[in-house]
A and B are shown apart, each in its own frame.
Chain A
Amino acid sequence: MSDNKKKQDVLPRVGFYICHCGTNIAGTINVAEVQKYVAGLPGVAVSRDYKYMCSDPGQEMIAQDIKEHKLERLVVAACSPNLHEETFRKAAAKGGLNPFFFQMVNIREHASWVHTDKIAATLKVMDLSRAAVARVRYHHALDKKRVPVDPNVLVVGGGIAGIHAALTLANAGKQVTLVEREATIGGHMALFDKTFPTLDCAACILTPKMSAVKSHPNIRLWSYSEVEKVEGYVGNYKVKVKRKPRYVNEDLCVGCMECIDACVFKEAKFPDKFNQGLGKRKPVYIDFPQATPKVVLLDPETCIQLKTGKCKKSCAEVCDRKAFDFTQKEKFEEIQVGAIVLATGFKAYDAKRDPQYGYGKYPGVYTSLEIERLVNASGPTSGEVVLRDGKKPKAVGIVHCVGSRDAKSNKWCSRVCCMYSLKLAHLIKEHSDAEVYNFYIDMRTPGKGYEEFYDKLLSEGVHFIRGRVADVTDWAMTPEEEGRLVMRVEDTLAGFVRRIPVDMVVLSTGLEPQADAQEVRRRFNIGCGSEGFFQERHPKLAPVNTFTDGIYIAGACQAPRDIPDTVAQAGAAAAEALALIDAGFVELEPNTSHVVEDECSGCKTCVPLCPYSAITVEEEKKKAIINEVLCKGCGVCAAACPSGSIRQNLFEDDEIFSEIEGVLAK
């Protein structure tokens, strides 16, 4: 504290600037009063207010004043430093001042927008401004550290978002590693038959992109793999990836699938996860014919050889490439990347959570994803819409908003369900002749060609009933209802309660965060919103950035979204990663800590506190040293140092104590 205090005999000349932000600040805060008040504080050489400080003339004014009035410190009271700290640092630099001789006061997010009492809010802004003026005196000239950026990128998740991001980056010449948890890339889109509103076949537009990923010289595809651990910082991440055993050598298998025919199980008898359990598979399987990579794998839960070691291994025998390896173990690989794109997608709402709709109780109740497989030509019924007992449904009811817009489950609108329900209605009609009923709360069709698609459905003879379905029951009240499922609903347009007998019920389940979204976000050190989707840095201006630099998000892991929006966002995330990489270096905030050697007693209190092992003790001198490259600037050591010899740049004891004093002075 002492060396700094001495300098304070002559106070440095402070320039204070308060922003109106139009009426955002000036509407609540008496800006002129604050300006006048601060002008009277010791050391303040210039105090001004201006309509928009962040505008070019505002910044120019600051730069001019620094030169003209020989300002040595700068304080700007405006919005959150998360928004414009960098802007005003640049303005300081333009005026010839070290950018870190600057302190920002957050009087918009933390005052004008959240307070209604104008006098009290103005007084608070005076307190905060006084504190900043007091603190900024203790600031030091600092430099940003430049560190090189590793040009390689990791993309996590091989759905349409991850595929598009990986291809964009690879086409730009970057080396991309695409990690996918499942055995094949393609994600949810690979399950769909057609895509709205154009009804083009999902496979026809997706599979060429999947093949492009596999064959791209700049993409390394690691399917059936998961990210275990992430270390490092922007531009320099070290990632550990777990590669799960397929028991088949990926480099040897050509995907001829002869082994599947040769398996000792003559009939497929285990539930096929890819087909939502509607079809059956053998212990040796491939998810679907265009799976990428086109490599079979063994299910250790059902394969006799893997379970007991006592199978005649006819699959391996028939393989002329000798690709089978029953001893394969999971292995771990480490890669270095500069940027990471997270595209881990969503989970469909579990329809069993709404027991009133009878999913899991009545065989005639399906989820929308099951119907996607059912109407799919490569699905378990080859595209035929039939019930579990093989009969054709005469009437089908589609329930919108299952697990969406519901205070009991998920409050949000899942955005895609109205459109995919319309699509499924069209497809069911096309594939069966059944009467189709849509039960909706509001019909939400914003998007290019979406409303037109709705209009088209209206003219196709699909029935639309506005109302949330109360329940689905097999309790018949009329002979017509006998043996069928009855949907009870209040038709809010007609104004009465109806009972509609159907044979098949489709539950349009909403989109939820992945079950392990919380674990994943911790692994990547990013945040989640209250509903559990990954949190973007700014909802409007940084929608694909996260609070951790160098980690970007794309697709439905951020919020429910459809394919066009997902692809657009994936492109944006790739562009952000490119911008980072092509700059070649990043500038790191200089808020790291250092030890003042003369004051350090070598007590080692700080050493075990550092989460990055950045602190060591030089044994001969008995002094702690902080490795500035490893230090990430949390300041936990500075708070613990008994002698106060650890200084955290921008958050030194002097700076914080003077801020406390300033806030509380009267």
Chain B
Amino acid sequence: MTEKFEPRIVAFFCNWCTYTAADLAGVSRLKYAPNVSVIRVMCSGRVDPQFVLDAFARGADGVLLGGCHPGDCHYAEGNYKTLRRMRMLERLLKGMGIYDGRFRLEWISGAEGEKVKTVINEMTEKVRALGPLDLPGKTLEWDKELEELEAHVNKSAPKEEVVHAR
């Protein structure tokens, strides 16, 4: 690859804490890497694990999720639900070979503009060091491998009915 790798990171920020903190970082003219695109949700609890998987599947090299600190959720306890879901998701991601900081969950309060900067810069550097994830490319490869395997199984198997476990 001749072109320098620039990670693409999708972030989901809750409206009340982390999105506001990112606004504060802006107003304070803090400078951070331009690699993160923020999608606003009202609460980090709105983030369906599928959103994270979808982002990876569409080519994100990293996904960042930002919510209010535990106990500070604007909706009382949405962030606890986020935490539970995301811990589960992390296991699933590991199974797919996505780990080591490609997915990050951070509690950032509305006053922590500085933390937005630090987290984004850290994560960008980390993902840059890891290199491209290219899940779409990998998925194509995996599909091809699976097809080949299936063809192989079909060819060598006796003429009995093959039951696919899906």
Contact = CB atoms under 8 A, between A and B. Distances in A.
A128 interface: yes
Centre residue among A111, A121, A124, A528 by max chain B CB count within 10 A: A124
A278 to B, nearest CB: 37
Main secondary structure of the interface of B (DSSP, over half): loop
A664 B58 contact: yes
A110 B36 CA distance: 9
Contact of B45 (A82, A124, A529, A636): A636
A535 B31 contact: no
Contacts of A636: 43, 45-46, 75, 78, 81
A632 B25 contact: no
A470 interface: no
Contacts of A529: 111
Given A82-B20, A611-B77, A651 B51 contact: no
B34 interface: yes
Contacts of A117: 34
Given A639-B47, A651-B46, A634 B26 contact: no
Contacts of A116: 31
Interface stretch (A92-100, A453-461, A580-588, A655-663): A655-663
B16 A530 contact: no
A660 B10 contact: yes
Given A527-B110, A527-B111, A529-B111, A635 B27 contact: no
B27 A656 contact: no
Contacts of A252: none
Contacts of B19: 82
Contacts of A106: 23, 38, 40
A124 B54 contact: no
A127 B42 contact: no
B27 A660 contact: no
Contacts of A80: 23, 26
Interface string B1-27: 000001010100000110110110111
A612 B45 CA distance: 14
B42 A109 contact: no
A651 B45 CA distance: 12
Nearest to A521: B72
Interface in A4-33: none
Contacts of B110: 527, 535, 547
A325 B13 CA distance: 55
Nearest to B12: A656
Interface in B94-144: 109-112, 117
A509 interface: no
A535 B109 CA distance: 11
B46 A547 contact: no
B34 A635 contact: no
A607 to B, nearest CB: 13
A327 B106 CA distance: 51
B46 A82 contact: no
B20 A547 contact: yes
Given A114-B31, A639-B48, A120 B6 contact: yes
| Chain A: number of interface residues, binned into ranges | 35 or more
A512 to B, nearest CB: 16
A72 B38 CA distance: 25
A519 to B, nearest CB: 10
B20 A660 contact: no
Nearest to A111: B34
Contacts of A634: 42-43, 45-46, 74-75, 78
A508 B129 CA distance: 51
Contacts of A632: 75
A212 interface: no
Contacts of B117: 114
A477 to B, nearest CB: 46
A525 B17 CA distance: 12
A110 B21 CA distance: 10
B83 interface: no
Interface in A601-618: 609, 611-612
Interface in A513-530: 522, 525, 527-530
A373 interface: no
A663 B33 CA distance: 16
Given A634-B75, A639-B45, A124 B34 contact: yes
Interface string B45-84: 1111001001100111000000000011011111001000
B154 interface: no
Contacts of B6: 120
B27 A528 contact: no
Nearest to A664: B58
Given A634-B42, A636-B46, A114 B78 contact: no
A113 interface: yes
Contacts of B46: 634-636, 638-639, 648, 651
Nearest to A527: B110
A6 to B, nearest CB: 21
B23 A128 contact: no
Contacts of A109: 22-23, 25-27
Given A634-B74, A638-B48, 8 more contacts: A114-B31, A115-B33, A120-B34, A634-B43, A634-B46, A636-B46, A639-B81, A663-B39
7 nearest CB pairs, A to B: A109-B26, A635-B46, A636-B45, A634-B75, A634-B43, A611-B76, A113-B26
22 contacts: A82-B20, A111-B34, A115-B33, A124-B34, A124-B35, A522-B72, A528-B111, A609-B81, A611-B78, A634-B45, A634-B78, A635-B46, A636-B43, A636-B45, A638-B46, A639-B81, A640-B48, A651-B41, A660-B39, A660-B55, A663-B10, A664-B55
